[in-house]
Structure 1
Amino acid sequence: MKSSLDENKPIFLQIKEQIEDSIINETIKTAERIPSTNEFAAYYKINPATAAKGINELVMENILIKQRGVGMFVTDNAKEILINKRKKIFYKNYMDPLKKEATKLGISNMDLIEMVKMEGIEDEN
């Protein structure tokens, strides 16, 4: 778990994103139990209901499943769902504006592709 929370973002979203990141980078694996709302609450000194809000959103998105009396566990397809969701967000936040700016500057799609390829080559050197 992160050692501190960002004051500029809702805590429940930070809890949710932290769990998502842990699933994507496989710190928490499929079928593994996540920390409980009380564990999050104790660690961050927050209200358990705040932690529960972030966790419950992940349940609604089929990322987590509740096993009564045992805890919350990562679903079999959680990582795939999260990666697809993040790809859509990436496209919206980065690719759409990139394409719009390229169009304004008269950069063709092929030129844009070449620019991206060249950037990868420069990073390798």
Structure 2
Amino acid sequence: MSVFDDTRPIFWQIAERIEGDILDGVLPEEGQVPSTNEIAAFYRINPATAAKGVNLLVDEGLLYKRRGIGMFVAPGARAIVLAKRRGQFYRQYVQPVAAEARKLGIGVAELTELLHRSAVEHEGTPAP
């Protein structure tokens, strides 16, 4: 069984997993990131694929290289990932839900109540 989604390039998924670790605090700002060889060995993928995923994050300013030492999480990386993911969340989830709610005649107040109820059911407490 593969740990990757076969419908998307593995290097994107590697980048997303590193982003997730940055968001979760597993990889703190200024913290060292596993080497591309370590990533490749862990996931049993080609090191070039791992490097491509890491380099995506370098290009986005989330990681930087310390010559001879390795890759590190850039200052402000968590805020960048958070803003990026919030934008994706809005486009992938909020907009389609709002469009479907309009089709069903669900107004803003009712939609807000439905979201609140779902948050309580799944988390046990209302979302802030």
- Give the TM-score, by structure 1 length: 0.88
**1:24 corresponds to which residue?**
23
Indicate how the Cα distance of structure 1 residues 117 and 7 shifts in structure 2: closer, same or farther if over 3 A, else same: closer
Q: Which amino acid aligns with 2:38?
A: E
Find the aligned partners of 1:120 and 1:106 in 2 and give their Cα distance. 22
**2:40 corresponds to which residue?**
41
Unaligned runs of 5+ residues in structure 2 are none
SS in 1 for 2:45: coil
**1:6 corresponds to which residue?**
4
Is 2:86 aligned against 1:51?
no
**1:82 corresponds to which residue?**
81
CA contact (8 A) 1:5 1:11 kept: no
CA contact (8 A) 1:5 1:14 kept: no
Find the aligned partners of 2:56 and 2:17 in 1 and give their Cα distance. 13
Indicate how the Cα distance of structure 1 residues 119 and 52 shifts in structure 2: closer, same or farther if over 3 A, else same: same
Indicate how the Cα distance of structure 1 residues 48 and 120 shifts in structure 2: closer, same or farther if over 3 A, else same: closer
Deviates more, 1:40-49 or 1:69-78: 40-49
Deviates more, 1:8-17 or 1:28-37: 8-17
- In the TM superposition, residue 47 of structure 1 has moved relative to its aligned partner by 1.9
In angstroms, what is the RMSD of aligned CA positions? 1.7
- Give the TM-score, by structure 2 length: 0.86
**1:62 corresponds to which residue?**
61
- In the TM superposition, residue 62 of structure 1 has moved relative to its aligned partner by 0.8
CA contact (8 A) 1:15 1:51 kept: yes
- In the TM superposition, residue 119 of structure 1 has moved relative to its aligned partner by 2.6
SS in 2 for 1:118: helix
Find the aligned partners of 2:16 and 2:117 in 1 and give their Cα distance. 32
**2:98 corresponds to which residue?**
99
Is 2:72 aligned against 1:73?
yes
Q: Which amino acid aligns with 1:14?
A: Q
**1:121 corresponds to which residue?**
120
Aligned length: 122
Q: Which amino acid aligns with 2:51?
A: A
Unaligned runs of 5+ residues in structure 1 are none
- In the TM superposition, residue 110 of structure 1 has moved relative to its aligned partner by 1.8
